[in-house]
Amino acid sequence: MKNTMHGIWRIYPSPLNTELISKSNFDFQVFDFEHGSYDFKSLSEDLRISKNHNVKAFARVGGLNQIEVQRCLDLGADGIVFPQLSKFEDFEKASKMMLHYPNGTRGYNPFVADFDFGDKVVPEKKECIVIVETLSAVKILERIIKIENIDTIYIGVYDLSAQLDCKGDLLNRELVYIVNQIIETTLKFEKNVSLMVNSMEDFEYFFDKGVKSFVHGVDSFHLKNAFKNILSKNEK
């Protein structure tokens, strides 16, 4: 796993779980506003714990909501994950939300957590992570990759499977072809690419293709399986 980044998707807020995961050699966590239970209060708590352990903390927002994005950044998120983008203008707008004037549309307030409450004048660079999870976005992938401030293309395999009418079938031939094409095209332009893997076989397959950033499932799924496994081992 040398020279790779490893993270986990977080659906349920929990300072304790954030600390446990941070102490388990993960490089980043993604706190989910779109499908998860996060609000600004719980995000603030989990961001603080992540930073105390030098683990990157990203927020997946619900969409192209300027205020939501800005508040996540002001609270100190290391980057924003943008879902459900289809048109080139959507991706361009997302990239501008990450930057202050004159390059972007983010409001400027140096008295928030991201600026150490007034101790910093200029914030650290934030990562703009866009999810390619619509067939419309796949068709314009090269244009998206060329948007300067987009740092990472995250492949939304589950939503792509829904768009292909093969929900959850990650071995569907057409889906596998599209995922491989996204990886190949993104790496050709020397842009970071990331996706979720559910097994060591998945990891090795995509690592061999040049992927360096991986999300290892979702907290809710891992917790459920952990407790199920306890009982299954004791069954007679």
Say which CATH number the domain at 19 has: 3.20.20.60
Question: Which residue type sits at 110?
Answer: P
Does residue 235 register a pLDDT over 80?
no
Determine the average pLDDT of the residues in 180-203.
96
State the DSSP code for 123: P
Q: What is the pLDDT of residue 40?
A: 96
* Token pair listed for 115: 């600026």
* pTM score: 0.95
Predicted confidence (pLDDT) at residue 70 exceeds the cutoff of 70: yes
Cα 71 to chain centroid, rounded: 17
Q: 85 or 235: which carries more pLDDT confidence? A: 85
Beta carbons within 8 Å of 208's beta carbon, 6+ residues apart: none
Domain of 159 in residue numbering reads as 5-234
| Total tally of structural domains belonging to the chain | 1
| Rounded mean pLDDT, 184-209 | 96
Dihedral, 106, 93, 31, 8 alpha carbons, nearest 10: -130
pLDDT tens digits, residue range 119-162? 988 878 999 999 999 999 999 999 999 999 999 999 999 999 99
User: Of 61, 31, 29, 56, which Cα lies nearest the Cα of 43?
Assistant: 31
The helix (run of H) or strand (run of E) holding residue 8 is strand 5-10
The predicted pLDDT at position 231 comes to 84
Residue 15, preceding peptide bond in cis (omega within 30° of 0)? no
Q: Is the dihedral of CA 183, 168, 90, 74 positive or negative?
A: negative
| pLDDT value at residue 182 | 98
Output the six-digit token pair for 92: 């361009």
Residue 135 to residue 10: CA distance in whole angstroms: 25
Residue 1 has what pLDDT? Answer: 52
**Per-residue pLDDT band at 75 (split at 50, 70, 90):** very high
163, pLDDT greater than 80: yes
Please provide the average confidence, as pLDDT, over all residues in the chain: 95
Predicted confidence at residue 22, as pLDDT, reads 96
* Residue 73 pLDDT grade (very low, low, confident, very high; cuts 50, 70, 90): very high
Q: pLDDT at residue 204 above 70?
A: yes
Residue 129: strand, helix, or coil: strand
Tell me what pLDDT residue 236 has.
56
Q: What angle do CA 31, 34, 35 make, to 5 degrees?
A: 85
